[in-house]
Amino acid sequence: MKLLQCILTENDCYKTNRTIRPKGVMVHSTGANNPNLRRYVQPVASTPGRDELLATLGVNSNANHWNRPGLDVCVHGFVGRLADGTTAAVQTLPWDHRGWHAGTGASGKSANNTHISFEMCEDGLTDPAYFRQAYRTAAELTAMLCAQYGLDPAEDGVVICHQDGYRRGVASNHGDIYNWFPRFGLDMNDFRAEVVRIMSGESEEEDEMVYYKNLTDVPEYYRDAVEKAVDKGALNGTGAGELNLSEDLCRTLTVLDRLGKLD
C-alpha cells in the first residue's frame, strides 16, 4: 500500500481540534463517478512538501476539494487514483481526530465519536481492475489502523461501512458500500475477512481476485451454476450483459448448485 499524507488543515473539522479514542474503522465510498484523489485532496500553501504532493495527486482545477472551510464533512483518509493512474491511500486527518463522516444514528449516537473513517473514491462501478486495486488498498489501510490501535477486525462493530453504521443506529442512512462491493460478489464480511488475512500475514499482494466480465468469460465448470443464478434473477450484473463475477462467487454458486439450491 502506498500511503501519503495531506492533512486537511483548512477544513472546519480539523480546526475543531477534537480527538477520539479509536474503537473501529468505518469504510465509506464517495457516491460519485470520479476515482481521482485530486477531486477531494489538495495541499494548501502551508502543507509540507506541497509541490511534490500536488504533482503526485494532480491539480483540482475546479477547487471543489475538501481542504477548505465551509464544508460539513471530513474523513481521516481517501483511497483512489493518483495522477499517474496508480491507486494509493492518503491520510487527511490525524487518526485520533474526531471526523465528520457518519452523522447521527437512530440511537442518538454517532460513529464520529468512535471510528476512524476513510472514503473509497468510486468510479463507474464496472471496472474490475480498479475495484481490485481500491479494495486491496482499503483492506491494507484498515489492517494498518487495526494493528496501530490494537483493534480486532473480526470483533462485532469494529470494521463497518456507512450502511452498517446506519443499521447499528450510529450513522445516517447512506447505502455505501453496498452499492459497490456486491457488484463484484463481495460484502463487508469478505472485507473483514481480508483484513484479518492481511494482519495474519496470510494474504499476499500478488494474490489478486479473478473476475469474469461476461458469462462467456466464466469457465465452463462454473457456467451452469452462474446461468441458473442469472435466470432466477439472483445475478443482475451491471447491465449490457456485464456480470463482473468474482471467482469466489462462482465457486459458491457451483457448490449451491451441486446441493440443488439453484434448481
Higher pLDDT, 204 or 131: 131
Q: Where are the domains of the chain?
A: 3-200, 211-258
What does the mean pLDDT of the chain come to?
92
pLDDT at 208: 61
Entry pTM: 0.81
Cell of 172: 445516517
- Report in angstroms the alpha-carbon separations of 116 from 8, 70, 83, 159, 162: 15, 22, 26, 10, 12
- Report in angstroms the alpha-carbon separations of 152 from 53, 148, 174, 225: 33, 11, 25, 35
Percent of the chain clearing pLDDT 70 (strictly above):
95
- Our CA angle for 186, 188, 192, nearest 5°, is 110
pLDDT at 250: 85
Residue 204 has pLDDT above 60, yes or no: no
pLDDT band at 206 (very low <50, low <70, confident <90, very high): very low
pLDDT band at 28 (very low <50, low <70, confident <90, very high): very high
pLDDT at 247: 80
pLDDT (mean) for 202-209: 56
pLDDT tens-digit profile of 65-109? Answer: 999 999 999 999 999 999 999 999 999 999 999 999 999 999 999
Mutual orientation of helices 128-148 and 188-200 as an angle, nearest 10°?
A: 60
Region class of 60: left (phi > 0), else alpha (psi between -120 and 50), else beta: beta
pLDDT at 130: 96
What backbone torsions phi and psi does residue 106 show, to the nearest 5 degrees? -65, -25
Instruction: Look up cell 499524507; give the residue.
Output: 5
pLDDT tens-digit profile of 129-158? Answer: 999 999 999 999 999 999 999 999 999 999
Query: Which CATH architecture describes the domain 3-200?
Result: 3-Layer(aba) Sandwich (3.40)
pLDDT band at 42 (very low <50, low <70, confident <90, very high): very high
Residue 207 has pLDDT above 60, yes or no: no
